[in-house]
């Protein structure tokens, strides 16, 4: 991979034995990036896909094991319908161009959220990518699609309630691991690091249960300008922190 001098410098400072296992990212700011340049929002989304590709490459190269990506969903449907149409075509375009590289890198694509709520053609492209990559044992890339964390917790509560009422499990046997297991993230370990670009300092209904002890890293940079350097800076900053897991030994 071609790296700039700055990227090589950052890479050298990173302790390869303490790379975060699971990194979560809220890919925010495509629209604002475009407006700032007097471009249509669609140009921002295109540029955003480039940042996404770069991020997957550097995460894979660093040895991150899980990458969870979120573009919040409820807002999407309020956008002009031309933009929504374009957004729903992008995944097919992205996956058809990228699937070979993803497979070559042994990357496993997964989704979390209600993919049933996506248009048919989009859902099919996503499902196909999931099936094509399901045996891959390298980096796991979770795409949060039509996802909301409160909805995810509610869904888990309902699933557990069902099992209690049909006698499969006892109320006293429900513990924190039970709840984790019934979230979309299943038995994946919680994120170690959350990256949020674009200057917003909030969680926006993303992985509320899973991020109890996650380290947060923010940047003013809009997502389309986010690159390998930012990712490496976030990991370096993460490695300087002293994690205490709320005082629990872990
Ligand atoms: C980075 C790049 C951030 C559109 C682009 C935001 C459906 C997304 C299936 C992926 C096309 C990511 C994101 C809203 C890879 C991506 C968008 C949406 C953006 C969606 C996907 C692509 C996107 C959006 C939701 C397996 C490829 C622009 C649709 C889902 C998010 C994966 N902004 N951006 N509504 N989606 O509409 O929750 O499948 S391609």
CATH number of the CATH domain containing 110 = 3.40.1180.10
Task: Determine, yes or no, domain membership for 171.
Answer: no
pLDDT computed for residue 30 by the predictor: 95
- Ligand 1 atom 18: residue of nearest CA: 87
Q: How far, in Å, CA of 207 to CA of 203, rounded?
A: 8
The structural domain count of the chain equals 1
11 lies in a domain?
no
pLDDT tens, residue by residue, 145-201: 999 999 999 999 999 999 999 999 999 999 999 999 999 999 999 999 999 999 999
Q: What is the pLDDT of residue 81?
A: 87
Name every residue whose Cβ is closer than 8 Å to that of residue 165 and which is 6 or more positions away in sequence.
none
| Contact predicate 185/22, CB 8 Å | no
Mean pLDDT over 96-103 rounds to: 98
The answer to the question of residue 7 being in a domain is: no
- Asked whether residue 70 is domain-assigned, the answer is yes
- Where are the alpha helices (H) located in 20-104, listed in sequence order? 30-36, 41-62, 81-104
| Whether the predicted pLDDT of 28 surpasses 60 | yes
Residue 176 lies in a domain: no
Q: Would you say residue 157 lies in a domain?
A: no
User: Does 177 map to a domain?
Assistant: no
Pocket test for ligand 1, best of 41, 91, 195 (most atoms within 8 A of CB): 91
Q: Ligand 1 centre from 90 Cα, in Å? A: 7
Domain that holds residue 78: 20-148+190-239
Q: Is 24 part of any domain?
A: yes
| Alpha carbon nearest to ligand 1 atom 15, residue | 91
Nearest CA among 209, 189, 80 for reference residue 142:
189
* Residue 206, pLDDT above cutoff 70: yes
């Amino acid at each position: 991979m071609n790296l700039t001098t700055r990227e090589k410098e950052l890479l050298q400072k990173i302790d390869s034995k303490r790379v975060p296992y699971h990194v979560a990212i809220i890919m925010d700011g495509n629209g604002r990036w475009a407006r700032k340049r007097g471009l249509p929002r669609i140009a921002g989304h295109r540029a955003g896909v480039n940042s996404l590709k770069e991020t997957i490459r550097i995460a894979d190269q660093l040895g991150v094991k899980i990458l969870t990506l979120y573009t919040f969903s409820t807002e999407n449907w309020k956008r002009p319908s031309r933009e929504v149409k374009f957004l729903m075509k992008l995944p097919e375009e992205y996956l058809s161009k990228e699937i070979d590289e993803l497979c070559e890198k042994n990357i496993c694509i997964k989704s979390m959220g209600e993919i049933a709520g996506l248009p048919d053609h989009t859902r099919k492209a996503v499902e196909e990518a999931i099936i094509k990559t399901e045996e891959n044992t390298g980096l796991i890339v979770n795409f949060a699609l039509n996802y909301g964390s409160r909805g995810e917790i509610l869904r888990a509560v309902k699933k557990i309630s069902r099992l209690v009422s049909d006698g499969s499990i006892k109320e006293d046997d429900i513990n924190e691991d039970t709840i984790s297991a019934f979230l979309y993230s299943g038995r994946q370990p919680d994120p170690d690091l959350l990256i949020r670009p674009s200057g917003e300092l909030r969680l926006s209904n993303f992985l509320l249960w899973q991020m109890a002890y996650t380290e947060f890293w923010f940047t003013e940079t809009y997502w389309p300008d986010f690159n390998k350097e930012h990712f490496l800076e976030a990991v370096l900053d993460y490695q300087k922190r002293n994690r205490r897991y709320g005082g629990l030994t872990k």
